[in-house]
Amino acid sequence: MLPMLEAEYAQTSEAEREGWAYNNTSDSRFPFLGITPLVGPQPVVRLNPEYWDKKLPRSAIQFLTFSRLADTRRYTKEKEQWLKNNAPGYSLNRFLEALDINALTPAIDK
């Protein structure tokens, strides 16, 4: 897999590497990386090393990511398919479909 990722990365110009990066699956040049210089809905950011509390043990969770599509129609469609097939993905897709991402703002602000 590493050679495929390296080949995708090699397709980016130096100018693109110096610019912003986005999690954008619509750029067919990068099917494995999913990270592209084309503007998309979700920018990729660099982490600030000063943010971390270095006194905590390495096992302590200091950063948590959560991936959710803005267009929830995909979750609705997948949820219905999972339910039709009595398959285990139903509950997760139902949750992602119903989740109001704005409800997490108070937790993020802390």
Q: What pLDDT sits at residue 35?
A: 83
Instruction: Say whether 22 sits in a helix, a strand or coil.
Output: strand
Q: What pLDDT sits at residue 58?
A: 78
Rounded to an integer, what distance in angstroms lies between the CA atom of residue 91 and that of residue 94? 5
Q: Which residues contact 50 (CB under 8 A, 6 or more apart)?
A: none
The yes-or-no verdict on residue 8 having pLDDT over 80 is yes
The arithmetic mean of pLDDT across residues 17-44, rounded, is 82
Q: What pLDDT sits at residue 47?
A: 65
pTM: 0.43
The arithmetic mean of pLDDT across residues 1-14, rounded, is 86
Express as a percent the part of the chain with pLDDT over 70: 91
- pLDDT tens digits, 50-102: 777 888 887 887 766 777 888 889 999 999 999 999 888 899 899 999 988 77
H helix intervals, 1-64: 2-10, 14-18
Question: Hey, what amino acid is at 107?
Answer: A
Q: What pLDDT sits at residue 110?
A: 54
